[in-house]
Chain A
Amino acid sequence: MRRTLDKRALGVTALFAAALLLGYARANEPRARFAQAVASLNDADKSALPSAPMLTVANAIWALGSEEAVRKMLRAELDRVPSAEAKARARAFVRFGIIDSNPDGQAAVFFQACVSDPSLCDRGRLIAAAERETQARLVEPGRHLPLYLMSGHPAP
């Protein structure tokens, strides 16, 4: 009688363990695939993943958003992005400069871009960065290089 009970207890325990493993494996499969895919990224790409959703929203607004939506987004970006993320802040300033209709305002904003990312103090690089942004913008305003960059103004 006791041996029968022991056998049953062992059977129930084994079945519990097998079901536990099966449940874990099935639920873990997609996460394991994600972990595998992320493992193939370099450290910089991995650390950039959490900010990618916000960056995507900002890019979408820049591509198609109204001028008002773009201005709101850029203000929020500059509030949110820490100064340590120089490239991201500089890009926000470049976008601001592109949609600013006032040449003096453009000069001030492009100077801020240069302060954030010193590589943009080079006029050629600043123009190249602005051209990339104008190509990514699908509606007006902001589809053309601003006057400040097209005329012979000195580098910021």
Chain B
Amino acid sequence: MTRARPLGLIWPYLLAAALGYLLGSIAVPASAALGGGSSNTPLARVGFALRDNPEAPQLAAMLDGDLQAVRSSLAVQEREVFDLVVAVRGLDNGGTSDWNRAERICQALTWPRCDREALTQLKVHSVP
């Protein structure tokens, strides 16, 4: 009985804090969708990360959802190539290349060269 009263006093505060945080988090994608221009779309954000710029690895952390959105917008035969670029550029890995995955994807594409040296050069030559 004596413990029920303090809990009864606290729960509105807990509820307010949780609800406020949740709504605040949801507001960001909602406001981006409503107010975003052509330079604030998944395509543009991934495009920015694909450019040769020093901030790309740091920004890559926010790209997970964007990478999926861009991938699904591509034609089927281009998706594997996109996955290969994502792997060599490390866009889903904080900027660190995943050479093993890149090699597997490259071999699945049956491209003439899939060795590390070729993939390292691909990392440079794929920059738009």
Chain B interface, >50% SS class: helix
A153 to chain B: which residues have CB within 8 Å? none
B51 to chain A: which residues have CB within 8 Å? 49, 52
Give B contacts to A, CB under 8 Å. 9, 12-13, 16-25, 27-29, 32, 38-41, 43-48, 50-51, 53, 55, 58-59, 61-62, 70, 74-75, 77-78, 81-82, 84-85, 106, 109-114, 118, 121-122, 125-128
Asked if A64 CB lies within 8 Å of chain B CBs, one says: yes
For residue B9, give the distance in angstroms from its CB to the closest CB of chain A.
Answer: 8
Known contacts A49-B39, A50-B41, A64-B106; decide if A19 and B20 are in contact (CB<8 Å): yes
Assess whether B58 is in contact with A33, with CB atoms less than 8 Å apart: yes
A72 to chain B: which residues have CB within 8 Å? 77
Task: Tell me, in angstroms, the Cα distance from A21 to B21 when the chains sit together.
Answer: 7
For residue B63, give the distance in angstroms from its CB to the closest CB of chain A.
Answer: 9
Listed stretches A34-42, A92-100, A103-111, A115-123; interface member = A34-42
For residue B65, give the distance in angstroms from its CB to the closest CB of chain A.
Answer: 11
Task: Tell me, in angstroms, the Cα distance from A26 to B118 when the chains sit together.
Answer: 40
Assess whether B75 is in contact with A64, with CB atoms less than 8 Å apart: no
Task: Tell me, in angstroms, the Cα distance from A143 to B113 when the chains sit together.
Answer: 14
Chain A interface, >50% SS class: helix
Asked if A63 CB lies within 8 Å of chain B CBs, one says: yes
Asked if A2 CB lies within 8 Å of chain B CBs, one says: no
Task: Tell me, in angstroms, the Cα distance from A111 to B23 when the chains sit together.
Answer: 58
A26 nearest CB neighbor, chain B only: B25
A23-62 interface bits toward B, Cβ cutoff 8 Å, 1 = contact, 0 = none? 1111110110111011000000011111111111101111
Task: Tell me, in angstroms, the Cα distance from A30 to B46 when the chains sit together.
Answer: 13
Asked if A66 CB lies within 8 Å of chain B CBs, one says: yes
Task: Tell me, in angstroms, the Cα distance from A50 to B36 when the chains sit together.
Answer: 13
B77 to chain A: which residues have CB within 8 Å? 69, 72
Residue of A19, A38, A63 near B121 (CB, 8 A) is A63
Asked if A128 CB lies within 8 Å of chain B CBs, one says: no
